Amino acid sequence: MKHIIAYLTLVLSLAFAFSPLFTEPFTGFAADQLPYPQIDPPIQPAGYAFAIWGLIYAWLIVSALFGVIARAGNDAWSAARTPLIASLAVGVPWLAIANASVIWATIAIIWMAVFAILALLRAPKQDRWLFQAPLALYAGWLTAASWVSIGSGMAGYGIVLGSFGWAITGILGALVVALLVFRLRPSAPEYFVSIIWALIGIIVANGSDVAAVSALAALGIAALTAALWLKRQV
Which residue type is seen at 68?
V
pLDDT (tens place) for every residue of the chain, 234 residues total: 889 999 999 999 999 999 999 888 777 787 788 888 888 899 999 999 999 999 999 999 999 999 999 999 999 999 999 999 999 999 999 999 999 999 999 999 999 999 999 999 999 988 999 999 999 999 999 999 999 999 999 999 999 888 999 999 999 999 999 999 999 998 889 999 999 999 999 999 999 889 999 999 999 999 999 999 887 765
DSSP assignment string, 156-207: HTT-SSHHHHHHHHHHHHHHHHHHHHHHH-TT-THHHHHHHHHHHHHHHHHT
3 state SS of 5? helix
Instruction: Determine the Cα–Cα distance for residues 43 and 171; give it in Å rounded to an integer.
Output: 7
Rg (CA), the chain: 18
Of 134, 118, 141, which Cα lies nearest the Cα of 192?
Answer: 141
**Residue of 166, 162, 153, 160 whose CA lies nearest to 33:** 153
Confidence (pLDDT) at 234: 57
pTM of the model: 0.95
Spatial separation of the C-alpha atoms in residues 116 and 32, rounded to whole Å:
30
pLDDT score recorded for residue 23: 86
Q: What is the pLDDT of residue 24?
A: 80
Question: Residue 27: which of 53, 50, 57, 59 has the closest Cα?
Answer: 50
Sign, Cα dihedral of 201, 207, 212, 215: positive
Which residues fall within 8 angstroms of residue 107, CB to CB, at 6 or more apart? none
Query: Of how many residues is the chain composed?
Result: 234
Q: Give the pLDDT of residue 233.
A: 65
Q: What is the pLDDT of residue 4?
A: 95
Residue 208: other Cβ atoms inside 10 A:
7
- For every residue of 45-113, DSSP letters joined together read PPGGGGGHHHHHHHHHHHHHHHHHHH-TT-HHHHHHHHHHHHHHHHHTTHHHHHHH-HHHHHHHHHHHH
Per-residue confidence (pLDDT) for residue 33, from 0 to 100: 87
Burial of 34 (0-12, 13-18, 19+ CB in 10 A): middle
Hey, what amino acid is at 36?
Answer: Y
Smallest CA-to-CA distance from 105 within 152, 169, 160, 51 is with 152
